[in-house]
Amino acid sequence: MDAPTAASPDRRAPSAGPCPDGTVVIVGGGFGGLYTALALSQQPAPPPILLIEPRERFLFLPLLYELLSDELRRWEIAPPYEDLLAGRGVAWLRDRVERIDTTARLVHTAAGRPVAYASLVIACGGGDCTFGVPGAERHSQGFRSLADVERLQTLLRALRDQRHPLQRVAIVGAGPTGVELACKLADLAEGSAVIELIERGSMVLPQGRAFNRQQAELALQRRDVRVRTHTQVTAIEADHVVLRSPTSAESAIPATNEILPVRGVVWTAGLGFRPPVITPSVATDSRGRLRCDPELRLLGHSDVYALGDLASPAPVADPGQGDQPTLPSTAQVAFQQAALLSANLIRARGGEPQRPFVWNDLGEMLSLGKGDACLTGAGLTLAGPAAYQLRRLAYLTRLPGLPHQLRVGAGWLADCRP
Ligand SMILES: Cc1cc2nc3c(=O)[nH]c(=O)nc-3n(C[C@H](O)[C@H](O)[C@H](O)COP(=O)(O)OP(=O)(O)OC[C@H]3O[C@@H](n4cnc5c(N)ncnc54)[C@H](O)[C@@H]3O)c2cc1C
């Protein structure tokens, strides 16, 4: 880990000791954390804000497929925090939080720095979860970082340059990431490899909207993606995966194992959670997410909040009662929670009552290969190139901060000039 730096031109990062200035410390600069910091900095009379995030760049994950295909540029979807936060009144500490002591109101970072907070926001997100499948950690890659994109681009170059019959790339999991990636990879492989999409359940996009599922199935078929449902990956080696099918116990067909030779494996099948150690320990749900009240405060804490993938807020009607099953792990949810949380932090400072989080489902958009997409939402269903353009425009308005939106929008307009 690099020596921590406070990147803001406005403030230095606070350190250990009492926190008289009411600093809000935000752990994690993804959709939940960064958007909370930006929204809070725009409130009238904002408190001092410190964002602790180890990565150099924010990553707009919904557009990662377009970075893979070079339809978008790296600076557009992965702007450096230093640029995003310049002049915004948000200090940035480039470090990882390892431990949180809620009694002393301190967070401890990997670089050994204790940081005091008045209010704390935990927004560390999730990571890949391979469910202990042998060889998965070693021989597969994920799709959630710039390094993952670079690894896949290298694999695609190798597939195209050294064509062999029946080269295969396996994608494990047919949720949105698996389906979107399969379409994009099939386009980019240009016939040099068969893309195998492997799903334990009975269908692709099990949680998806019917229209989007239908469009995704068509897009996969058009690209000759081999979809294997009812199929479980039981082991992964350097050059093959072991499959077991069917997975359904009710099936009359006896289960069989198959060895499938592959050039690469991308694991998209699960989301796991490894938050910093919190003392005294706090309540978590069955998936390891932090349980919160509807106002996004950790249960039993008035000054520690959580949001995004890592948070498990109780339903508004029934606080304190287990998981909230209807809340998906999406940027859309994190984005809306950030808006509420920034306002709740200001309300807390003024001694006003906190407001609960109520999710407004805006619909679902999917990238389905180069220049192709589909969307369902606001009474609209659309597929094809028009949906692709609309999806890009919708995400332009979601990029972090107006200056970055304007830079990206201007770049797109310049690209359109004859
Ligand atoms: C490929 C892909 C495509 C997606 N597409 C969509 C989409 O189209 N629409 C949609 O709504 N959602 C989409 N999602 C889901 C969406 O990106 C997540 O739900 C969202 O990023 C969650 O936000 P978050 O802030 O909880 O976590 P993240 O955005 O993952 O951010 C967590 C941050 O915390 C940092 N961090 C972690 N641990 C620590 C620590 N100990 N100390 C300090 N910092 C830490 C990480 O470095 C990271 O920057 C997609 C996800 C992926 C992977």
- pLDDT of 205-260, one tens digit each? 999 999 999 999 999 999 999 999 999 999 999 999 999 988 766 667 778 899 99
User: Of ligand 1's atoms, which has the minimum distance to the CA of residue 330?
Assistant: 19
Report whether pLDDT(18) > 90: no
Label residue 113 by pLDDT band (50, 70, 90): confident
29 Cβ below 6 A of ligand 1: yes
Going by CA atoms, what residue is nearest to atom 52 of ligand 1? 61
The pLDDT value given to residue 170: 98
The pLDDT value given to residue 3: 38
Q: How far is the CA of 13 from the centre of ligand 1 (A)?
A: 24
Query: What percent of the chain lies above the pLDDT cut of 90?
Result: 84
The pLDDT value given to residue 9: 35
**296-332 CB burial, b ≥16 within 10 A, e <16:** bbbbeeeebbbbbbbbbbbbeeeeeeeebeebebbbb
Nearest in space to 332 (alpha carbons), one of 293, 373, 374, 360: 360
Output the CA torsion sign for 333, 335, 338, 339. negative
Report whether pLDDT(20) > 60: no
User: Of ligand 1's atoms, which has the minimum distance to the CA of residue 126?
Assistant: 30
Mean pLDDT over each residue of the chain, to the nearest integer: 91
Nearest in space to 287 (alpha carbons), one of 261, 333, 321, 324: 324
User: Of ligand 1's atoms, which has the minimum distance to the CA of residue 335?
Assistant: 23
36 Cβ below 6 A of ligand 1: no
> Do 22 and 14 contact (CB within 8 A), yes or no?
no
The pLDDT value given to residue 249: 63
Q: What is the mean predicted confidence (pLDDT) over 48-67?
A: 97
212 Cβ below 6 A of ligand 1: no
Q: How far is the CA of 229 from the centre of ligand 1 (A)?
A: 27
Range list for CATH 3.50.50.60 in the chain? 24-126+273-349, 136-269
Q: At 314, list the tokens.
A: 């109780």
- For residue 169, the cross-strand partners are 195, 264
Domain 24-126+273-349 fold is FAD/NAD(P)-binding domain (3.50.50)
Choose one of 25, 26, 31 to mutate for the ligand 1 pocket test, by most ligand atoms within 8 angstroms of C-beta: 31
Report whether pLDDT(318) > 60: no
Report whether pLDDT(266) > 90: yes
334 Cβ below 6 A of ligand 1: yes
Label residue 326 by pLDDT band (50, 70, 90): confident
Q: How far is the CA of 175 from the centre of ligand 1 (A)?
A: 16
Which residues lie closer than 8 Å to 151 by C-beta, 6 or more apart?
A: 141
Label residue 7 by pLDDT band (50, 70, 90): very low
32 Cβ below 6 A of ligand 1: yes
**H helix intervals, 350-401:** 385-396
User: Of ligand 1's atoms, which has the minimum distance to the CA of residue 33?
Assistant: 25
Q: How far is the CA of 391 from the centre of ligand 1 (A)?
A: 19
Label residue 322 by pLDDT band (50, 70, 90): low
Look at domain 136-269 and name its CATH class: alpha beta
Label residue 316 by pLDDT band (50, 70, 90): confident
User: Of ligand 1's atoms, which has the minimum distance to the CA of residue 55?
Assistant: 47
Beta-sheet pairing, 97-101 with 106-109: antiparallel
Query: What percent of the chain lies above the pLDDT cut of 70?
Result: 92
Which of 18-27, 128-137, 259-268, 395-404 is predicted least confidently? Answer: 18-27
Q: How far is the CA of 356 from the centre of ligand 1 (A)?
A: 22
The pLDDT value given to residue 107: 97
Which is more confident, 15 or 201? 201
User: Of ligand 1's atoms, which has the minimum distance to the CA of residue 333?
Assistant: 11
Which residues lie closer than 8 Å to 65 by C-beta, 6 or more apart?
A: 180, 181, 184, 367
Q: What is the mean predicted confidence (pLDDT) over 79-89?
A: 96
